[in-house]
Structure 1
Amino acid sequence: MDDIKTIGVSIRRARKGAGITQETLADLIGTSTRTVHAIETGRGNPSLLTVAAAANAVGLHLRVTDD
């Protein structure tokens, strides 16, 4: 669960650093502001594709590791 929150925090930080709103990010990736909020707070159940799209839109890339 910590990984989900960490990803969300990273996306929020990058979004704010880019100076864009949750609404703008939602428009860029074709989803709702509510879904962007869910991603950034680590709540809800957004699809992996949506999370990856949000990350890519703010210049981040998701990486899978074997731990």
Structure 2
Amino acid sequence: MGILDALDIAPTPDELYLPSFKLHPLKGKLNGFWSIWVNGNWRITFRFIDADVELVHYLDHH
């Protein structure tokens, strides 16, 4: 299963805890958002709105 598929079906962050995703909550001004590792420096940053995911960024972390 790919990252976008997992984000599409997961109703909560708890459903996304796969070691390869390196899922973690963000802090500070991005409190309430989550990040999943894609590869290298690339991350998908998103948040949950009820049981839906709002994709916010696909970005190079460094």
* Alignment TM-score > 0.5, same fold: no
Give 1 or 2: higher strand fraction: 2
TM superposition score normalised by structure 1: 0.27
Give 1 or 2: higher helix fraction: 1
Higher relative contact order (CA 8 A, sep 6+): 1
TM superposition score normalised by structure 2: 0.29
